[in-house]
Amino acid sequence: MTKYYMDMLWSIDFRYGIGFDVESCWSRPVWTMREAGEIEAMSFDGIVICLPFIIICVGNVWEEVEDA
């Protein structure tokens, strides 16, 4: 489940794990879906909190642009 709140994306998902972890990332690869139904890889910039069986992500995604 993903919601847009306070200019950031908030996502809660299930995971197979029982550890506790907090991660700050600026280029974590994630799969995104465009309005036209296209699936593509983008980079995630934010905080990832891993709890037993739940992962919470707070941040934004951005598209990699190659300089010519």
Q: Is the dihedral of CA 14, 20, 22, 23 positive or negative?
A: negative
Using the predicted structure, report yes or no on whether residue 18 has a pLDDT greater than 70.
yes
Task: Specify if 47 maps to a domain.
Answer: yes
Whether residue 57 lies inside any domain: the answer is yes
Number of H helices, E strands in the chain: 0, 5
Query: Is the pLDDT higher at 60 or at 37?
Result: 60
- Any domain includes 67: no
pLDDT of amino acid 10 = 92
Whether 49 is in a domain gets the answer yes
Residue 29 domain flag:
yes
Q: Cα separation of 27 and 17, whole Å?
A: 22
- Domains identified in the chain, total number: 1
Q: Structural domain of residue 49, as residue ranges? A: 2-62
Q: Is residue 18 part of a domain?
A: yes
List pLDDT tens digits, range 26-58. Answer: 888 888 887 888 888 889 899 999 999 999 999
pTM for this model (two decimals): 0.76
